[in-house]
Structure 1
Amino acid sequence: MVKVSVVIPVYNVEDFLGECLDSIVNQTLEDIEIICVNDGSKDNSLNILNEYASKDNRFTIISQENGGHAAATNKGMSLAKGKYLFLMDSDDVLDVTALEKTYNLAEEKNADFVIFQAINYYMDKDEYVKAENYSMNGLADYVGDNVFNYKDIKDFIFKIAVTPWSKLYNNEFIKKAGAKFPEGLIFDDNVFFYEVLFNAKRIAFYREHLFKRRWYSSSSTTAGDKRFADTIEINNLIINVFIKYGLFDEFKDVLFNRKIKIVYMRFTKVKCEFKSYFYDKMKEDFESMLTDDIYDGFLDCLSFRNKSIFENVISSSSCKEFMLMMEIFHLNNRINNLNSENIYLKQLNKELLSSNSWKITKPLRKIRNLK
């Protein structure tokens, strides 16, 4: 049995694939298999894969019709024979020591999976950023070197990066959990993550940035295209996972607010030509929430902002009207903030003028004496 199976779904990434594969074939842990699933690429990706495979017998190349990231990853996972499983993105880069370091920790801790840190790389700016969402320093500080599970870190459940490429999984554990990616949707790693998290009994954290996450405009998670509406179904599937494991009542307030917040955030990032499509899907889903028993009393759980978003979606008759209503909402918020700031400054000014402090009033006395 090989130590680690690396699964790489590949679709039209000829510009980045070589760097990705180099970071895998040069791993200091050499006892690995590399399963690449070509998901109907139309560029030179398959030729690149075949070239690498011709030089390294650790490669297995599978080609299939385009079915999306989830379908390709699920296919690769079904073929994985290693003790551990690593799910790689074909446009990113893994530190060459990552598999060895996380494998050793997983063995030492008998972990169901190991979490490690990642760094953002913004291509347009050629800039590296250690952001908290992938660094997870709060979680790292809290758990230290201890083994933990979700019950130990309930305050951090929604602060862990859901990305599969920042984890090394015990392969047998994944198979027993039956965790798969929901096919036909983007943002699919959210559902997979919570399935895995709630099944895991032993999790370990490796505190080092071992993964370079590449951000660029044509990536599926930044493209802002029609698929962004998938976030609506993804959030519903996440809620279903919490229901499945009997955790819904405990976390429903957070789940309700996260759903409204994330769905609206994706709406703001979708391109103009797809906003009406997204709005129609959002309105349909929000209207269904009013009659679904799961959402009974959910309006009382929403923050002022999220409740306003929801009510504006429900009451608007078109995407244009909804956007205008949200523009008014944001302008009113800005006015209220300015008014609050004005009241604070007036009070501060009053306190300064009436103060008996010599240091504060001396400049004022000088001004008065000049008159």
Structure 2
Amino acid sequence: MIIPTYNVEEYIDDCLTSLLGQSLKDIEIICVDDMSTDTTPDIIKYYQRKDKRIKYYPLKEKQGSGGCRNYALTKARGKYIQYVDSDDFLDLNALKELYEIAEREKTQILMYKATSYNHNENKFFIENYYDMKELSHHLNKLMGIKEYDSDIFRTAVVPWNKLYLKSFLTSLNVKFPEHLIHQDNPFFFETTLNADRIFFIEKYYNRRRRNNSITELKNQMELGTIDIIEFRGLDI
């Protein structure tokens, strides 16, 4: 698992607890901290002392979540890569079931739905974007981009609702753009357009919604779109 962290002292406990409690025990948890100014590093190091499966790497200059993920991938030793946002959490059997499906279907990308969690109201709910009902005809089927076709534009582009085959990522030499809010988009399209073994299943990931998260910064996200277009040299 790869977790970029920055000032998440209120949430990182829940995240790490859900990962350390996974029924699949043979895992590594790579935390890359983007120069937090709160107690996030101390909390991670506390858990690291308790469980050697946690690897902690503090960055010396800010790189954003994309830079954290890029760095973590160079340190990862496992067969599969699961990205986890530092304020989110997984069901305790999630990784075991994901691993078994990925092994059975020989997937490059194992994609799944997500349940949203309202932190302020302490309740779960469904968001259409992460539920991806429009893709229901692809559920439990192996496909490549030819079968996926235009449905790619109905897919949540986030990296954390997908289990990636590490050798697939390294073969593409794919990276997240650094310092950009919309850095998920080019990573998603580069990986998906090059995959011929994608499998789509139901929900396992719990996405925390909170007022001060990066996904709530709408104005900055809109500005970030311009940077993403420039990053890939797209014509629109």
**TM bucket, shorter chain:** over 0.9
Gap change, CA 1:225 and 1:45, over 3 Å in 2 = farther
1:151 offset after TM fit, Å? 1.3
In structure 1, how many angstroms separate the alpha carbons of the residues matched to 2:154 and 2:206?
A: 19
CA displacement, residues 73-118 of structure 1 (integer Å, 9 cap, x when unaligned) = 1110111110001111001111111111111111101110100110
Who is 1:195 aligned against? 190
Percent of aligned positions that are identical: 35
The gaps in structure 1 that reach 5 residues or longer are: 1-5, 241-293, 296-371
Among 111, 114, 119, the residue aligned to 2:115 = 119
The one-letter code matched in structure 2 to 1:24 is L
Q: Structure 1 counterpart of 2:130, which letter? A: Y
How far off is 1:155 after superposition?
3.0
Amino acid at match of 1:135: D
Q: Of 35, 59, 66, which residue of structure 1 is paired with 2:62?
A: 66
**1:166 and 2:167 equivalent?**
no
Q: 1:213 aligns with which of 207, 210, 224?
A: 207
Contact 2:119 2:210 in 1 (8 A): yes
Q: Please name the residue that 2:92 is paired with.
A: 96
Displacement of 1:237? 4.3
Q: Of 204, 211, 221, which residue of structure 1 is paired with 2:199? A: 204
Q: Which runs of 5+ in 2 are unaligned?
A: none
Question: Matches of 1:71 and 1:62 in 2, distance apart?
Answer: 12
Q: Distance in 2 between matches of 1:239 and 1:125?
A: 42
| Partner secondary structure for residue 72 of structure 1 | helix
CA displacement at 1:138 relative to structure 2? 2.5
In the aligned structure 2, how far is the partner of 1:187 from the partner of 1:133?
16
Runs of 4+ with >6 A deviation: none
Contact preservation (8 Å) 1:112, 1:201: yes
Counterparts of 1:127 and 1:58, CA distance in 2 = 30
Please state if 1:110 is matched with 2:106.
Answer: yes
| Equivalent residue, structure 2, for 1:138 | 134
Aligned to 1:16: 11
Higher share in helix: 1
Tell me the TM-score normalized by structure 1: 0.61
* CA distance in 1: counterparts of 2:25 and 2:2, whole angstroms: 15
Contact 1:9 1:38 in 2 (8 A): yes
State the partner residue of 2:52: 57
Return the index of the structure with the highest Cα Rg: 1
Structure 1 residues 194-239: Cα deviation after superposition (integer angstroms, max 9, x where no partner): 01001111011122x2111111121112134646411222245467
How far apart are residue 160 of structure 1 and its match? 0.7
8 Å contact kept, 1:102–1:206: no
CA contact (8 A) 2:2 2:82 kept: yes
**Counterpart-to-counterpart distance in 2, 1:239 and 1:27:** 41
When normalised by structure 2's length, the TM-score is 0.94
The 1:238–1:119 alpha-carbon spacing in structure 2 relative to 1, beyond 3 Å, is farther
Question: What secondary structure is seen at the aligned counterpart in 1 of 2:214?
Answer: coil
In structure 2, what is the Cα distance between the partners aligned to 1:67 and 1:228? Answer: 20
The 1:27–1:238 alpha-carbon spacing in structure 2 relative to 1, beyond 3 Å, is farther
Contact 1:83 1:170 in 2 (8 A): yes
SS of equivalent residue, structure 1 residue 153: helix
1:80-91 → structure 2 map (5 Å cutoff): 80-91=76-87
1:1-371 to structure 2, matched below 5 A, reads 6-64=1-59, 65-139=61-135, 141-207=136-202, 209-224=203-218, 226=220, 228-237=222-231, 240=234, 294-295=235-236
Are the counterparts in 1 of residues 32 and 68 from structure 2 also a CA contact under 8 Å?
yes
Higher relative contact order (CA 8 A, sep 6+): 2
Instruction: Let me know the Cα RMSD of the aligned residues.
Output: 1.6
Larger strand percent: 2
Q: Distance in 2 between matches of 1:235 and 1:127?
A: 36
2: CA distance, partners of 1:104 / 1:195: 25
